[in-house]
């Protein structure tokens, strides 16, 4: 099974390629009909890629860990104990 780092590395190039195409599209002052169709298709492709990416990440995480979030309890406990200037 791949690690989280390996999964991220594998998807990094794919996301970067789409971002480069989108940047070029955004800088085009007057996009043609074909360019607009390609952009719309990329948005659909991007959503599918994101779904696969998140699903693969979920499989490699420990059971019970559904998402990462910032832990603020350490900051609060440090302030209460007086070790952190107010």
Domain boundaries, the chain: 4-81
pLDDT of amino acid 73: 44
User: How do residues 2-33 score in pLDDT, each as one tens digit?
Assistant: 889 999 999 999 999 999 999 999 999 999 99
- pLDDT surpasses 70 at 41: yes
Which residue intervals of 1-86 are DSSP H helices?
Answer: 4-27, 33-60, 73-81
Confidence of residue 55 (pLDDT cuts 50, 70, 90): very high
Instruction: Record the pTM.
Output: 0.63
Which residue is listed with tokens 């989280």?
Answer: 4
pLDDT of amino acid 2: 83
pLDDT of amino acid 1: 76
Quote the CA–CA distance of 33 and 39 in Å, as a whole number: 10
The pair of three-digit structure tokens given for residue 77, joined into one six-digit string: 């406990």
Q: How far is CA 73 from CA 8, 27, 65, 68, in A?
A: 28, 44, 18, 15
Residues recorded for the chain: 86
Quote the CA–CA distance of 83 and 37 in Å, as a whole number: 58
């Amino acid at each position: 099974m791949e690690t989280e780092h390996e999964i991220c590395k594998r998807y990094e190039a794919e996301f970067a390629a789409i971002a480069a195409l989108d940047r070029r599209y955004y800088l085009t002052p007057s996009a043609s009909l074909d360019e607009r169709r390609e952009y719309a298709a990329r948005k659909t492709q991007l959503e599918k890629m994101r779904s696969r990416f998140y699903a693969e990440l979920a499989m490699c995480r420990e059971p019970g860990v559904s998402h990462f979030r910032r832990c603020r309890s350490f900051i609060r406990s440090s302030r209460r104990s007086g070790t952190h200037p107010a």
